[in-house]
Amino acid sequence: MSVSVDSTTSATANRAEALRPHAEHAFAAELAALAAQDDRPRPQRWKLSPWAVATYLLGGTLPDGTVITPKYVGPRRIVEVAVTTLATDRALLLLGVPGTAKTWVSEHLAAAVSGDSTLLVQGTAGTPEEAIRYGWNYAQLLAHGPSRDALVPSPVMRAMSDGMTARVEELTRIPADVQDTLITILSEKTLPIPELGEEVQAVRGFNLIATANDRDRGVNDLSSALRRRFNTVVLPLPASADAEVDIVSRRVDQLGRSLDLPTGPEGIDEIRRVVTVFRELRDGVTADGRTKVKSPSGTLSTAEAISVVTNGLALAAHFGDGVLRPGDVAAGILGAVVRDPAADRVIWQEYLEAVVRERDGWKDFYRACREVSV
Amino acid sequence: MTRTGEGAEAGALLLGVRHHGPGSARAVRAALDAVLPDAVLVEGPPEADPLVGLAADEGMRPPVALLAHVVDEPGRSAFWPLAEFSPEWVAIRWAVGRGVPVRFIDLPAAHSLARTDEPTGSEESGETPAGEEAVRVDPLAVLAETAGYDDPERWWEDVVEHRATGGDVLAPFEALGDAMEALRETYGDGGHDRDLVREAYMRLQTRAAVREFGAGRVAVVCGAWHVPALRRRATVAADRALLKGLPKVKAEMTWVPWTHRRLSRASGYGAGIASPGWYGHLFSAPDRPVERWMTKVAGLLRDEDRLVSSAHVIEAVRLADTLAAMRGRPLAGLTETTDAVRAVMCEGSDVPLALVHDKLVVGDVLGEVPESAPAVPLQRDLTRSQRRLRLKPEALDRELELDLRKETDAARSTLLHRLRLLGVGWGEPARSRGSTGTFRETWRLRWEPELSVRVAEAGVWGTTVLGAATSKASADAVGTVALADVTGLAERCLLAELPDALPVVMRVLGDRAALDADVGHLAQALPALVRSLRYGDVRGTDTAALGEVALGLAERVFVGLPGACAGLGTDAALEMRGHVDAVHQAVGLLGEFGAGGAGSSGGAVPGAGPGGVPDVRSRWWSVLRLLAQRDAVAGVVRGRSVRLLLDSGELADEEAARLMGLALSRGSEPAEGAAWIEGFVGGGSGGGMLLVHDQRLLGLVDAWLSGVSDDAFVDVLPLLRRTFSAYEQGVRRTLGELVRRGPATAGPPVTGLGIPGFAGDLDAERADAVVPTVRLLLGLTGASAGPVEAGTHLAGADADLAGAAM
């Protein structure tokens, strides 16, 4: 026991120097202000009422003037459904393409609801059952035989016994048989330990937030039995082109600075173009809403747009004149769009001929794309 | 009585409602049951008074609408739609069921239709009200929004129905009347002076009814917005003055069937609703509306083969209830249930949710009207057109020849096409006997009695044949799935002259074309579209939009075709050859349209068009060239492409021969070679003559066939037989002769003239035998006829003979 106390202390000491502090520490002041003024009913062991949790995520101003910064910019409905799901003791599954703030939302939800976002299982292809149930301290096990002391509880188990929120990242990457360990936990709310003839029963306040990528959901699709235990919330991509351009250019700026790449104001046109192309192909309709286009198999997420632009900047800086030009991004776009060499190529050419060719001021871009496409 | 809910002056019970509000409907029924009035007055055109009895008819099933139209001008009309859950409908049914007189008290349609400055809305699809307009149209929605609700029905439920009123069924109406008074103090008349006139009329009618039935014995069901005006004390003289000198037309009324989908259109009552299915559910569900709704949704999703268990329903209800609690609402409304359905039953996806919205939230309910209802204006419009065009409806079969260059005939054709679109199959197009020109049409006419029923049914779509056909075509376009059906529809729109429907059809066509990944579909759609373009030319319709869509479609075919032609089976390849042919023909016609200057592109130069962008024909040539050269492309398509290029002068003879040699060389599969030959010379497109005339090509075929191994020969034989048996007998025989005569492949410029049936070189001995006769014929009686000279003459004689043989 003493070991764990020591580690907690040292963690506290290191908190200030952490490269990236946990949500509950970074926004401790906001959480405290919300808790102080929250007079609505709280579910058992919740640090805040569902309403206050929603406010924490969406931002707002409290009666005493405390400003709560928005953690998630997006439809209010999504946050409300997510928080309500946790309040109904159903597990929450956050779906979305990469780069839609799934992990970010799950961390802040856990921080606001339980005041602790660290009960985390990272899902990988190699995640074992022990990571979700429990493992054994073999030295103890050999020395004293099976006992509670020899047991190493998983984050999920600790969340159950303490009535906290557990998080599972990338649920669909976990092998199917390991995923199914969650079924008993979520439906019976209990975790049997047959070696000891005991069980850990979840106390009120326990819940689970899982995130998964819905683009390559084929990795280890959830069994319908498990899926039934989750309420699903899909986190959308940015709603408007301007918002997305803003996100991309800000992120590109940050990345570029760390790589010593220059960005000029001319670059913004190219960024806008990349974002427009990505959005149009993703949504299957042109920005003016008048022409439909086919969507390719790739994700075309905001994150990919960022990497296309960063790539183009590197090209421009090292091989060009430092100004981001259509030719610098064309190859990157082609690579992002054409994932399936047969079907996607046709889609891309159709898009080029039907949309890009006709568009005013896109002549250079069209030509650059034709060059790399052939 | 000092009740505020009653008209202070008139002594009538004022029941202000939300049009199409199920909550209002239930409250109205409760109020009527409690008060038991002797007469019920309803907001609506008084011309409908004689029709009100039909509401109790067995055959009457809401949603229906009261339709008023100008007698001579069926296009000017207005609708008052009534759903099962409309308070007006509930009041009418209540009264008719008990034998209580019902009267409509709104301004007569004769006046409201006479106003030309304001669209009556029957032809317009619901304009979205904004600002002050919104207040007038749906004041309850404004109150609800002020209170932070997005669904006025839920606000009504929360504020009116779930509040303990001590069982006083009239209390909600009092409160609502007060609220409206406050609203109207702020907004005045909502910017509509027309309302003042209507309200003056309503006051007069109410007053008259009260005089007849006694104070407190009359109930008025009207839009909540009008309650304060009816409460207001105004002198009879002032009201009369307002009504003086109103323009008037002759108007008629009838009941028409309505649909839930069309309830969302604002007309008559001016209040469209977005979720008629949900409202209908709220009204008909006896209790636990959310639970019942979720069960309905689950049933729908199960029918669509989605896994939805009872556990899902339970969890969805729980989530909806908790969401409502979190949003501070006493009961889950449509937004909460939708959110819950999405998260629990649809796995966060909007796709199944769209289905739920379409089938349940809006719904497919279709109303019915008894046969005894007066004829719909559409029938009148049809009768008038028939009279004008001297086309009598007769039960006998009759053939009708139309010359579209004549005005009357063109109008007749248009009418028949429109009726066909509406499902009124009076005339069926028949094959023209004689002329096949595009300006001729033949119809077989036969008027069956049930066509009248069809006309009545088509009355849902509009009041004139033109209007109805336009809305029907637009609705059909949106509902069609297959691309070829949409192009067919576009063609019919042109034939029926529906310029207003065409943009919708074109938009749908563009969308379907963009999303259709099957090149075959696109290729099928293209010819019909191009044909439509030509029809358009004949009939002088504007077809610019059509041409653009056709060009776009062609572009998509060009991009997709090379990929689609690879790896095809035999049957699929044959089908694809048909597509290539069809596209080729269509592009030919389209080129004339697209380039504007048609002549320039016909030349042998595969150059670019005027704007640096290659025109549609030269792009098609390059696609064909690609097809011709790609090994992965099916043989029959490759052969066909070479042939098309050759015929168009885009491919030199040598090049064609080279490609044929490649296709027929030993390295390629014999079956592929045979398919290539079929593509190149098969299909009754004059391929036989080509072989007859170009011996080099024939030689290639011959050499290939001789080189095919015995086993392979058995395989390719049926293919070749299919190819060559399609030729005319003469061609076949000539080919046979040519082949029997042996290889003419010795060298490209054959010394002889290569005339069918003749050897390559002259048989001098036999030729000499003819010379005397020829000389005689030509009148050359000169004696000196040395053999050398004869030889030179022979060439000329031979040529003459050839000319005679042809």
Residues A292 and A221 in one domain: no
Q: Using only the alpha carbons of chain B, give its radius of gyration.
A: 39
Give the closest residue to B420 by CA, choosing from B345, B361, B348, B473.
B473
Residues within 8 A of B (CB atoms), A 60-119 only: 77, 80-81, 83-85, 87-88, 90, 93, 95
Token pair of B496 as six digits: 């029926």
Task: Please name the residue of chain A whose CA is at the shortest distance from the CA of residue B307.
Answer: A224
Q: Which of A203-207, B529-533, B571-575 has the highest mean pLDDT?
A: A203-207
Q: Is B613 on the interface with A (CB under 8 A)?
A: yes
**CB within 8 Å: B563 and A294:** no
pLDDT tens per residue, range B610-632: 444 467 888 888 888 888 888 78
- Separation CA B587–CA A156 (nearest Å): 66
Q: What is the pLDDT of residue B133?
A: 52
Q: What per-residue string of b and e applies to B71-104 under the rule 16 or more CB within 10 Å gives b?
A: eeebebbbbbbbbbbbbbbbbbbbbbeeebbbbb
| Binary contact (A354, B349; C-beta < 8 A) | no
Confidence of residue A374 (pLDDT cuts 50, 70, 90): low
Predicted confidence at residue B137, as pLDDT, reads 61
Q: Do A84 and B323 touch (CB under 8 A)?
A: yes
The whole-number average pLDDT for the span A52-65 is: 89
Min Cα–Cα distance to chain B from A295, Å: 9
Query: Could you list the residue range(s) of the whole structural domain that residue A351 is in?
Result: 241-373
Q: Check residue B489 and give its pLDDT.
A: 84
Nearest 5°: the CA angle A20, A94, A209 is 70
* Sign of torsion over alpha carbons A50, A54, A57, A61: negative
Question: Is 80 exceeded by the pLDDT of residue B795?
Answer: no
A55 and A108 both lie in a single domain: yes
Is pLDDT at B409 greater than 50 in this prediction?
A: yes
Residue A368 has pLDDT above 50, yes or no: yes
Number of C-beta neighbours around residue B595 at 10 A: 17
Three-state secondary structure call for residue B228: helix
Q: Any idea what DSSP says for residue A237?
A: P
Over 70: is that where the pLDDT of B426 sits? yes
Of A321-335, B42-56, B657-671, the one with minimum mean pLDDT is: B657-671
User: Is residue A217 located within the same domain as residue A266?
Assistant: no
In order of A216, A237, A251, B195, the CA distances from A99 in angstroms are 14, 8, 12, 54
Q: What pLDDT score does A265 carry?
A: 56
Residues A45 and A154 in one domain: yes
CB proximity under 8 Å: B 381-410 to A = none
Query: How many angstroms separate the CA atoms of A123 and A211, rounded?
Result: 9
User: Nearest chain B Cα to A40, which residue?
Assistant: B326
B573 and A CB contact within 8 Å: no
Q: Span B462-483, mean pLDDT?
A: 84
Chain A residue numbers touching B319 (CB-CB < 8 A): 81, 84-85, 88, 90, 231
Task: Flag if B343 and A88 touch (Cβ within 8 Å).
Answer: no
Strands B440-445 and B398-403: antiparallel
CA separation for the pair B675, B637 (Å, rounded): 8
Residue of B nearest to A54 (CA): B326
A301 and A171 inside one domain: no
Task: Please report where in the chains the tokens 């048609």 appear, as a residue.
Answer: B598
Is A50 in the B-facing interface, judged by CB distances under 8 Å?
Answer: yes
How is residue A193 written in tokens? 């330990």
Find the residue in B nearest to A227 (Cα).
Answer: B347
pLDDT for residue B108 is more than 70:
yes
Residues of B in contact with A100 (CB under 8 A): none
- Residues of chain A contacting B560 with CB distance shorter than 8 Å: 346, 350
Contact B19, B271 (CB under 8 A): yes
Domain coordinates of chain B in residue numbers? Answer: 13-263, 285-363, 377-468, 764-805
The residue out of A217, A234, A251 marking a domain boundary is A234
Cα(B464)–Cα(B472) distance, integer angstroms: 12
Q: pLDDT of A103-154, one tens digit each?
A: 889 999 999 999 999 999 999 888 999 999 999 999 999 998 888 889 999 9
**Same domain, residue pair A103 and A61:** yes
Using the beta-carbon criterion (under 8 Å), do A80 and B326 form an inter-chain contact?
yes
Q: In what order do the strands lie in the sheet with B73-82?
A: B73-82, B64-70, B251-257
Computed over every residue of chain B, the mean pLDDT equals 76
Substitution target in A42, A55, A84 with the highest count of B β-carbons within 10 Å is A84
**Token duo for residue B658:** 């080279």
B62-76, B144-158, B410-424, B677-691: range with highest mean pLDDT? B410-424
Same domain for A255 and A172, yes or no, is no
Instruction: Determine the pLDDT at residue B743.
Output: 56
Q: Which of A159-168, B344-353, B487-496, B591-600 has the lowest mean pLDDT?
A: B591-600
Within 13 Å, how many C-alpha atoms sit on residue B292's CB side?
11
Judge contact between A128 and A115, C-beta under 8 A.
Answer: no
In angstroms, the CA B590 to CA B611 distance is 17
pLDDT at A139: 93
- Give dist(CA A338, CA A281) in Å, integer: 11
A348 and A225 in one domain?
Answer: no
* Residues 6 or more apart whose Cβ sits within 8 Å of residue A8: none
In chain B the first and final C-alpha atoms are separated, in Å, by 112
Tally of domains within chain A: 2
Question: What is the rounded CA–CA span in Å between residue B501 and residue B479?
Answer: 14
Query: Cβ–Cβ of A80/B514 closer than 8 Å?
Result: no
Burial class of residue A373 in the structure, from the number of CB atoms within 10 Å of its CB (0-12 exposed, 13-18 middle, 19+ buried): middle
Give the span between the Cα atoms of B684 and A73, in whole angstroms.
66
pLDDT at B598 over 50: no
DSSP secondary structure code for residue A235 in this structure: P
Judge: B559–A349 Cβ closer than 8 Å, yes or no: yes
A-contacting residues in B 329-358 (Cβ below 8 Å): 335, 339-340, 342-344, 346-349
Residue A291: list chain B partners with CB under 8 A.
510, 514
Mean pLDDT, residues B240-265 taken together: 79
CA of residue B298 relative to chain centroid, distance:
31
A350 CA: distance to closest CA in chain B (Å): 6
Q: What is the pLDDT of residues B511-544, one digit of tens each?
A: 877 777 777 888 878 887 787 777 665 555 666 7
Q: A357 and B613: CB-CB below 8 Å?
A: yes
CB contact under 8 A, B347 and A85: no
Return the H-helix or E-strand segment holding B489. Answer: helix B483-495
Measured between CA atoms, how close is A371 to chain B, in angstroms?
Answer: 16
Q: Which of A84, A93, A294 sits opposite B319 (nearest CB)?
A: A84
Cα B154 from chain centre = 36
**Mean pLDDT along residues B88-117:** 85
* Test mutation, B326, B334, B337, chain A, max A CBs within 10 A: B326
Q: Distance from B399 to chain A by nearest Cα, in Å?
A: 44
pLDDT tens per residue across span A152-201: 999 999 999 999 999 999 998 899 899 999 998 998 999 999 989 999 99
Q: Where are the alpha helices (DSSP H) in B16-107?
A: 22-35, 87-98
Q: What spatial distance separates the first Cα and last Cα of chain A, rounded to whole Å? A: 66
In this prediction, what percent of chain B has a pLDDT beyond 90? 5
Query: Which residues are CB-contacts of A175 (< 8 A; sequence separation ≥ 6)?
Result: A125, A127, A220
Is the CB of A293 less than 8 angstroms away from the CB of B514? yes
Q: Which two tokens stand for residue B45?
A: 């055109």
Which of A210, A234, A258 terminates a domain? The answer is A234
Buried b (16+ CB within 10 A) or exposed e, B153-190: bbbbbbbbbeeeeeeebbbbbbbbbebbeebbeebeeb
Task: State whether B309 and A228 contact (CB < 8 Å).
Answer: yes
Distance (Å) of CA A7 to CA A4, A161, B263, B672, B675:
5, 21, 67, 76, 79
Which residues on chain A are in Cβ contact (under 8 Å) with B510?
A: 291-292
B570 to A90, B622, B649, B717: CA distances (angstroms) = 55, 25, 29, 15
Q: Which strands form A91-96's sheet, in the order they lie side by side?
A: A120-122, A165-169, A207-213, A91-96, A230-234
CA distances from B138 to B141, B270, B692, B714 (A): 5, 9, 81, 80
Q: Has residue B600 got a pLDDT over 50? A: no
Selected residue of B305, B347, B483, B486 to mutate for chain A interface (largest A Cβ count, 10 A): B347
What is the rounded CA–CA span in Å between residue B349 and residue A167? 22
pLDDT, residue B757, reads: 54
| B503 in A contact zone (CB under 8 Å) | no
Which pLDDT band holds residue B340 (cuts at 50, 70, 90)? very high
Residue of A221, A228, A231 to mutate when probing chain B, most B C-beta within 10 A: A231
Window B:504-523, CB contacts with A under 8 Å: 510-511, 514-515, 517
HEC profile of B611-625:
CCCCCHHHHHHHHHH
Q: Nearest CA to CA, how far is B324 from chain A (Å)?
A: 9
Q: Among B312, B322, B556, whose Cβ lies nearest the Cβ of A84?
A: B322
pLDDT: which is higher, A169 or B140: A169
Residues A257 and A184 placed together within one structural domain of the fold = no
A23 with A151, same domain: the answer is yes
Inter-CA distances, B561 with A341, B460, B700, Å: 16, 43, 28
The pTM of this model reads: 0.64
- Stretch B212-224: mean pLDDT: 86
In this structure, the answer to whether residues A103 and A82 fall within a common structural domain is yes
Contacts of B347 in chain A (CB under 8 A): 95, 227, 232
CATH number where A104 lies: 3.40.50.300
pLDDT value of position A119? 94
Cα–Cα dist A158/A205, whole Å:
12
Q: What is the DSSP string of B367-434?
A: -B--TTSPPPHHHHHHHHHHHHTT----SS-EEEEEETTSHHHHHHHHHHHHHHHTT--SEEEE--SS
Domain end position, chosen among A219, A234, A249: A234
Give the nearest chain A residue to B309 (CA atoms).
Answer: A228
Residue A306 vs residue A48, higher pLDDT: A48
The pLDDT of B587-591, averaged and rounded, is 80
Instruction: Identify whether residues A327 and A291 lie together within a single domain.
Output: yes
- Segment B24-49 shows an average pLDDT of 88
